[in-house]
Homo-oligomer: A and B are copies of this chain.
Amino acid sequence: MDFKDEMLTKQKVVNDYLMKCMEIKCSPQIILDSMKYSLFAGGKRIRPILAISICEALNGEVKDVLPFAASLEMIHTYSLIHDDLPAMDNDKYRRGKLTNHMVYGESIAILAGDGLLNYAFENIFDFLTINPCKKNISAAGVIAKAAGVSGMIGGQVIDIQSKDKKIDEKTLHDMHRLKTGEMIKASCLTGAIIAEANNSMDIVEEYGSNLGIAFQIVDDILDYTGDEKDLGKTIGKDKKSDKPTFISMYGVEKSRELAALYTEKAAKNAKIIDKKGFLLELTDYLLKRKN
């Protein structure tokens, strides 16, 4: 199977599972509609696919990692809904569609975010009830920590506090490491933990760190140079809002070099983790993506 087909297959596995997860009985239908609107708004499923492909590469089984992969995507989606809110980044479009609060209103959007975050853990506890083994608890703990104040939420706080401010290099790196990097790393580690690949934990963590940095630099470059139609959101927004980015810190040229450098580092790790080559192609795809 070529890379593109394998990505599509994996996306379908994730989407089918997420769809099954969202067959919840709950009385006010609007909150489910709102959660599903963002969860199925065309995300690339990078985090779940990282977890799944690393788990597979390390001889784990897809069915064992899927519940965690789904929860990673729910957490990612909730963070987007809350980031887009008027009180946060005030974004009207995401992935070419109106943001959650533009469709459902601010209060439902806040609750849909809360609902997805909560459901990510509900879903994990449901799985733990049937499979209460240590590796599952360990993966859940890694995900929760990465999503929390010492991880993604902490990064979002730095982001908000950095608007209209000149920040130093360390703060920029901290912001991205926490906001994007920790969840990317947790996705990778989840795959390795579920595969019980204890000897590969260090290399997977290194891969996740390198990939996380490359991923965020590419995001910043796309916001600056990308095509609005490809991205499905307003571009140049970071610059307009005077948000510090890799571009404002290093310029486009140097940022491209940095993205390539960290992608190369991640690629080296990927070759060690996955002999079959999918992870390497995924790493390369993330550098070259247009959205």
Measured CB to CB, the residues of A under 8 A from B are: 24-28, 30-32, 35, 78, 82, 85, 87-88, 105-108, 110-111, 113-115, 117-119, 121-122, 125-126, 128-129, 132-134, 137-138, 140-141, 144-145, 147-150, 153-154, 156-158, 160-161, 174, 178
State whether B24 touches A150 (Cβ < 8 A): yes
State whether B113 touches A114 (Cβ < 8 A): yes
Chain B nearest Cβ from A120, distance in angstroms: 9
CA distance A153 to B161 in the complex (A): 29
Q: A126-B141, A137-B125 are in contact. Are A149 and B32 (CB under 8 A)?
A: yes
CA distance A55 to B144 in the complex (A): 27
Residues of B close to A150: CB separation below 8 A: 24-26
Which 8 residue pairs are nearest across A and B when measured between Cβ atoms? A87-B106, A125-B141, A122-B144, A28-B157, A118-B148, A121-B121, A115-B149, A26-B149
State whether A149 touches B24 (Cβ < 8 A): yes
Given contacts A87-B87, A125-B140, 10 further A-B contacts (CB under 8 A): A27-B174, A28-B154, A82-B111, A87-B106, A87-B110, A110-B110, A119-B148, A122-B141, A132-B133, A132-B137
24 contacts across the A-B interface (CB closer than 8 A): A26-B150, A27-B158, A27-B174, A31-B157, A82-B114, A87-B105, A108-B160, A111-B160, A114-B117, A115-B149, A115-B153, A118-B148, A119-B148, A121-B121, A122-B144, A122-B145, A125-B144, A128-B128, A128-B137, A128-B140, A128-B141, A129-B134, A129-B137, A132-B132
Of A115, A121, A128, A145, most buried by chain B (CB within 10 Å of CB) is A121
Chain B nearest Cβ from A132, distance in angstroms: 5
Residues of B close to A26: CB separation below 8 A: 149-150, 154
State whether B121 touches A30 (Cβ < 8 A): no
Q: A125-B141, A140-B125 are in contact. Are A88 and B107 (CB under 8 A)?
A: yes
State whether A110 touches B125 (Cβ < 8 A): no
Residues of B close to A154: CB separation below 8 A: 26-28, 31
Q: Which of B85, B145, B158 is within 8 Å of A28, CB to CB?
A: B158
State whether B161 touches A148 (Cβ < 8 A): no
Residues of B close to A114: CB separation below 8 A: 78, 82, 113-114, 117, 153
Residues of B close to A115: CB separation below 8 A: 148-149, 153
* Closest B residue, CB atoms, query A158: B28
Chain B nearest Cβ from A122, distance in angstroms: 4
Residues of B close to A113: CB separation below 8 A: 114
CA distance A234 to B31 in the complex (A): 29
